[in-house]
């Protein structure tokens, strides 16, 4: 059974850092999956934050470039998101998501993914 479990969320002040982790289980050939972090705030659509492809490539939404870093450990079936210089607008529920495909141009769309974690809350205060 495929499962994604996020951890590492919390409350920090603006300028602080957090590191999110996603533990994946039940995947066959985890390395072939596009893995991503998406976030959602109440009243808004879920949006892509960053993705890590099977070829090692990474992609980010413009708002987090230079501040966030996505990484993966295929040996551990794990995905990470290092978030630095956090801003109040980074507040939201962060979800780990997966799809067995190239990340491509659809990486930021929630409909692209077919596996989801339960989410971990990140709150950044000013």
> Considering the chain, what is the average pLDDT of its residues?
96
Contact 94, 47 (CB under 8 A): no
Tokens of 102: 């190239």
* Cβ atoms within 10 Å, residue 76: 11
Residue 119 has pLDDT above 90, yes or no: yes
Give first-to-last CA distance, the chain, whole Å: 40
29-67 pLDDT tens trace? 888 899 999 999 989 999 999 999 988 899 999 999 999
Tokens of 60: 């980010």
């Amino acid at each position: 059974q495929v499962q994604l479990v996020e951890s590492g969320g919390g409350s920090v002040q603006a300028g602080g850092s957090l590191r999110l982790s996603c533990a994946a289980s039940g995947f066959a050939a985890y390395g072939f999956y596009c893995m991503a972090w998406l976030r959602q705030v109440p009243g808004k659509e879920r949006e892509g934050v960053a993705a890590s492809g099977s070829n090692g490539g990474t992609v980010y939404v413009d708002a987090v470039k230079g501040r966030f870093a996505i990484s993966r450990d295929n040996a551990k079936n794990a995905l990470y998101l290092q978030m630095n210089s956090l801003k109040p607008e980074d507040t939201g529920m962060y979800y780990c998501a997966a799809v067995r495909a190239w990340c491509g141009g659809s990486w930021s769309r929630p409909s692209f993914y077919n596996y989801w974690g339960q989410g971990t809350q990140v709150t950044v205060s000013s």
